Chain A
Amino acid sequence: MKRLLFATVILLVSCKPPTPAEQMDAILSWVGSAIVLGNGWLRHTTPDTYTRQTLTLSHDQLRQIGAELLKSPPATIDSTELDGALTRSGTHLARMAQLVEARNSPGFNQVLDSLELDQKALKQLSDKIESSQ
């Protein structure tokens, strides 16, 4: 009986959706990917098509995970602040994909700098969420 209860608890625990901390990790992973990719593109080490497609994928993933996270934002952080950081990052990712298509390196560099600032803001929010858990 004890084993059955233990198994049920394990299953119930494992059925839970991703935690806000895990969602923030996923968001930071996509933003980090875009930054590494962006730096590579500026150094002409990644092809245009791959860079653009991956930036678009990062944008889509960020929007999807962000929307899920904002449905029930953690109480420890300001949801407006989170929403703002996510929106800014999404806009920058979409803009970077456009700039790759236009092969506009100077413009791309500027947006990449802004994305790095977004990453710092998102990291701070992520740390707050993690410390509250």
Chain B
Amino acid sequence: MKKILQLSLGIITSVGGFLEIGSVTTAAQAGAQFGYKLLWAILLGTLCLIFLIEMSGRLAAVSKHTIVDAIRERFGFPFFFFVLLGTVLVAFMVLVAELGGIGFALQILTGIRFPWWALPVSFVVWLLMWKGTFSLIENGASLLGLVTVSFVVAALRLNPDWTSAASGLLPTLPDDDKSKYWFLAVSILGASISPYLTFFYSSGAIEDKWDRTYLPINRVIAAFGMTFGGLLSMAVLIVAALALRPKGIQVETFQQAALMMTTALPKWGFYLFALSMLFACFGAALEISLAISYFFSQGFGWNWSEDVEPSSDARFAFVYTLIIGFAAVPLMFGVDPIKITMMSMALTSATLPLAIVPFLFLMNDPIYLGKHRNGWISNTVVGVVILISFVLAVVSIPLEIMGG
């Protein structure tokens, strides 16, 4: 009974915690500019994420190691440090974007500009980290994030042509603006396959004391939770394609993004959008702060757990205190969260091999996984998607930067 409850909660929290500033912004921009043409990128990213999440839970349940623990142990500290630099830098940018997303949600609700929210929002995030427990952060924020299901309601209300939508699941090139198309594809992949999610998930499995009996639960949570989450991202893209594209509206700011929901759900759309952004970004900010602290603490061999008093793992608490504080600074100076979001999502794609390739090696190591190591399907799907994301990122990021 306890496991069934955990299973249901796991799926619900995966769905509620799936959307964040990156997935909303990239999907909205894609839908507004290219209609359904980039649905395939969400499908590909979600498929890869299902495998990665399942793998990270399996590693923790079987080997009792988090990903970071195992990378450091298997590859040594110098290599781990290299992975840490790349991954944490990108995760930090994503954290800035998430805090900015909360600030923007509060701006459109209150009229007070987002730089003014940077400090109060960061303080609340920090306070929850300081006082909260792992399950509060994992479940509380994600349950609030269920408001993002309103995007599915909005998509259904707009009555999409399902045949056209289905055709978007296969890649097709647009007639013009191809560099923007590829940049958006890369950003969508980066938003879907966020390595911090795998670090967070494997650390959570250790915090929740998973063992081999959790393997079936892990598989179901990964498959259903991520599939439903991917459907939410697709719903955002569909709403933007139907509500914004016919009117020629591109999503350059959050103010414009909010319009997609006011078209689909006139009465409540605006508030549902604002609350969706608020809760989704809040949950993601907590998860990323935790993931970065896990990364440092597990890598350097410090005490770590969100379930103990900060005095018992002072260095763990110090890391999130420091990074949340630093993340507020660019926002206080008015740096545009949407620009940071797009760039950090694309950079996530570019740095995926750094975090995921060592992880793939671990998942094939009999010392860690024994008979539970990866089969060829997991290796092929993850390997191919990571390769595609990396190549597209390396080609499209310079084009986008220099194209302005």
A43 to B255, CA, bound (A): 18
User: Taking A26-B250, A29-B249 as contacts, is the C-beta distance between A46 and B270 under 8 angstroms?
Assistant: yes
Q: Are B399 and A50 in contact (CB under 8 A)?
A: no
Q: Are A50 and B258 in contact (CB under 8 A)?
A: yes
Chain A proximity mask over B227-262: 1 for CB below 8 Å, otherwise 0: 000000000000000000001111011011011001
Q: Are B262 and A40 in contact (CB under 8 A)?
A: yes
Residues of A within 8 A of B266 (CB): 40, 43, 45
Confirm or deny: B398 has a beta carbon within 8 angstroms of a beta carbon on chain A.
Answer: yes
Q: Are A40 and B403 in contact (CB under 8 A)?
A: no
Find residues 181-238 in chain B having any chain A CB closer than 8 Å to their own CB: none
Q: Are B252 and A29 in contact (CB under 8 A)?
A: yes
Find residues 31-64 in chain A having any chain B CB closer than 8 Å to their own CB: 32-33, 35-37, 40, 43, 45-47, 49-50, 53-54, 57
Q: Are B252 and A14 in contact (CB under 8 A)?
A: no
Q: Are A45 and B249 in contact (CB under 8 A)?
A: no
Q: Are A11 and B402 in contact (CB under 8 A)?
A: yes
Confirm or deny: B108 has a beta carbon within 8 angstroms of a beta carbon on chain A.
Answer: yes
A interface secondary structure, majority: helix
Find residues 105-127 in chain B having any chain A CB closer than 8 Å to their own CB: 108-111
Residues of A within 8 A of B108 (CB): 50
Q: Are A36 and B250 in contact (CB under 8 A)?
A: no
Q: In the complex, which of the residues B248, B270, B398 contacts A45, with contact meaning CB atoms closer than 8 Å?
A: B270
Confirm or deny: A106 has a beta carbon within 8 angstroms of a beta carbon on chain B.
Answer: no
A21 nearest in chain B by CB position: B176
Interface centre among A28, A35, A45, A47 (most CB of B within 10 A): A45
Chain B proximity mask over A1-40: 1 for CB below 8 Å, otherwise 0: 0000000001100111110000001101100110111001
Q: Are B262 and A36 in contact (CB under 8 A)?
A: yes
Confirm or deny: B404 has a beta carbon within 8 angstroms of a beta carbon on chain A.
Answer: yes
Q: Are B255 and A57 in contact (CB under 8 A)?
A: yes
Q: Are A25 and B110 in contact (CB under 8 A)?
A: no
Q: Are B402 and A45 in contact (CB under 8 A)?
A: no
Find residues 54-113 in chain B having any chain A CB closer than 8 Å to their own CB: 108-111
Q: Are B402 and A14 in contact (CB under 8 A)?
A: yes
A47 to B269, CA, bound (A): 12
**Nearest CB of A to B140, in Å:** 27
Confirm or deny: B263 has a beta carbon within 8 angstroms of a beta carbon on chain A.
Answer: yes
Q: Are B256 and A50 in contact (CB under 8 A)?
A: no
Q: Are A14 and B270 in contact (CB under 8 A)?
A: no
Q: Are A32 and B247 in contact (CB under 8 A)?
A: yes
Residues of A within 8 A of B259 (CB): 33, 36-37, 40
Confirm or deny: B267 has a beta carbon within 8 angstroms of a beta carbon on chain A.
Answer: yes
**Nearest CB of A to B400, in Å:** 8
A36 to B252, CA, bound (A): 15
Q: Are A53 and B179 in contact (CB under 8 A)?
A: no
**Nearest CB of B to A104, in Å:** 19
A7 nearest in chain B by CB position: B398
**Nearest CB of B to A55, in Å:** 10
A10 to B402, CA, bound (A): 10
Residues of B within 8 A of A25 (CB): 248, 250
A36 to B250, CA, bound (A): 13
Residues of B within 8 A of A32 (CB): 247-249
Q: In the complex, which of the residues B179, B262, B398, B402 contacts A46, with contact meaning CB atoms closer than 8 Å?
A: B262
Residues of B within 8 A of A18 (CB): 404
A49 to B263, CA, bound (A): 19
**Nearest CB of A to B207, in Å:** 40
Residues of B within 8 A of A47 (CB): 109, 111, 270
Q: Are B398 and A14 in contact (CB under 8 A)?
A: yes
A33 to B256, CA, bound (A): 6
A17 to B179, CA, bound (A): 14
Q: In the complex, which of the residues A17, A50, A57 contacts B270, with contact meaning CB atoms closer than 8 Å?
A: A50
Known: A36-B249, A46-B270. 13 other contacts (CB 8 A): A10-B399, A14-B399, A17-B404, A32-B247, A32-B249, A33-B256, A35-B247, A43-B266, A45-B267, A49-B110, A53-B111, A57-B253, A57-B255
A and B contact pairs by CB, cutoff 8 A, 10 listed: A14-B403, A25-B248, A26-B252, A29-B248, A29-B250, A33-B255, A43-B266, A45-B270, A50-B255, A53-B255
Binding site for A on B (CB under 8 A): 108-111, 179, 247-250, 252-253, 255-256, 258-259, 262-263, 266-267, 269-270, 398-399, 402-404
Binding site for B on A (CB under 8 A): 10-11, 14-18, 25-26, 28-29, 32-33, 35-37, 40, 43, 45-47, 49-50, 53-54, 57, 123
